A and B are shown apart, each in its own frame.
Chain A
Amino acid sequence: MQEPTRMQDMEAPLAELTDRFEWRDDNRLDVFITSDRLLPAVEVLFAHHWVYLTAITGFDSPAAEGSEAEGMIELLYHFCSGASILTLRLSLPYSNLVVPSVCHLIPPATLYERELIEMLGVEIPGTTSTDRLLLPDDWPVGVYPMRKTFKGL
């Protein structure tokens, strides 16, 4: 396998897909994108041999109480190369929780995507299977345990 491009040199190819980079550390780069740019961004990473998707993180960040802003669910796609982690970050508003699947590029990603579907209620069209993976068989449909609003059944 060819070595991935150095992370310091990844800003240029990703520049037109993002409006913001954030260096968290010498070897941590966060790239803020929107959901329609996820697949192009993954393709750019693939072209530079960043092919190792280590995890997809999802978390719920509801709007602050009394605020007009809409609650968001944030997704973080972590790509690794040695000790470097490049993270694609995107936030989805509650009104449009849809993100395209990356399964045609990274088939095992379906496990993470199914977890997002079950735990946070994100819709991911194109993932290979949407059968129940982690939650118990008798879990009610439409209840997402990793949402902040979840307070037990």
Chain B
Amino acid sequence: MNETLNLSTPWQKGLHKVRLWSLTNSPWAIHFNSGSCNGCDIELLATLTPRYDLERFGVKLQGSPRHADILICTGPVTRQARDRLLRTYEQMPGPKFVVALGSCGTSGGVFQGCYNIVGEIGNVIPVDAYIPGCPPRPEAMIDGIVKLLGSLK
């Protein structure tokens, strides 16, 4: 995301620092199911519960893509969901990040080659972090999202 920003003057550098600070401390997420079996979705909801407390990293599930920074996407992309996924992605304001959750999101999984499947999420939109697993453990999801945030700093 630095490529598009001009950081030549001190105030721009300062502004960028503030922007990065706010981004990495309160990444709001939106959850999109593009054809998942619901296993990852349930595990993602478990991750958001107080037991795992993703909110200590400022992560909060957001209802609207227009308010979200991270698109957490589960499942392979079906032909029907492809346009919806693209529309959701395009409604998000930049800088935005995509996390592909689960084996199906990273590779198509067991649905690979099915008649109604386009493929993995990376075939449709650019993905920043892959979290494999079927479904991934909540700890794995937290680790993946924290690593994504760490890579921004």
B115 with A153: CB separation less than 8 A = yes
> Which of B78, B80, B116 is in CB contact (< 8 Å) with A145?
B116
Binary B-proximity of A128-153 (CB < 8 A = 1, otherwise 0): 00000001111100000100001011
In whole Å, how far is A143's beta carbon from the nearest beta carbon of chain B? Answer: 9
Residue of A nearest to B113 (CB): A152
**Residues of B within 8 Å of A, CB-based: how many?**
6
Q: Which residues of B contact A135 (CB under 8 A)?
A: 116
Annotate B59-93 by CB proximity to A: 1 below 8 A, 0 otherwise.
00000000000000000001110000000000000
Give A143's nearest chain B residue, CB to CB. Answer: B115
Question: Which chain B residue shows the least CB distance to A135?
Answer: B116
Residues of A near B113 (CB, < 8 A) are: 152
Bound Cα distance A152, B113 (Å): 8
Report the minimum CB–CB distance from A153 to chain B (whole Å).
7
Q: For B116, what are the chain A residues with a Cβ–Cβ distance below 8 Å?
A: 135-136, 145
How far, in Å, is B43 (CB) from chain A's closest CB? 27
Q: Which residue of B has the minimal Cβ distance to A144?
A: B115
Interface residues in B77-125 by Cβ distance below 8 A to A read 78-80, 113, 115-116
Residue of B nearest to A145 (CB): B115
- Report the minimal beta-carbon distance from B141 to chain A, rounded to whole angstroms: 29
CA of A145 to CA of B113, assembled, Å: 12
A138→B82 CA distance, assembly (Å): 11
- Does the CB pair A138–B79 fall under 8 Å? yes
Collect the chain A residues with CB atoms within 8 Å of residue B78's CB: 136
Residues of B with C-beta under 8 A to A139 = 79
**C-alpha spacing A152/B78, complex, angstroms:** 14
- Tell me, rounded to whole Å, the shortest Cβ–Cβ distance linking B116 to chain A: 6
A136 to B78, alpha carbons, bound, how many Å?
8
Which residue of the partner chain B has the closest CB to A134? Answer: B116
Q: Is there an interface contact between A150 and B79, defined as CB atoms closer than 8 Å?
A: no
- The reply to whether A150 and B115 form a contact with Cβ atoms under 8 Å apart is yes
A137 CA to B79 CA in the complex, in Å?
Answer: 8
Q: A136-B80, A145-B116 are in contact. List 9 more A-B contacts (CB 8 A).
A: A135-B116, A136-B78, A136-B79, A136-B116, A137-B80, A150-B115, A152-B113, A152-B115, A153-B115
Footprint of B on A, CB under 8 Å?
Answer: 135-139, 145, 150, 152-153
Q: Which B residues lie at the A interface, using CB under 8 A?
A: 78-80, 113, 115-116
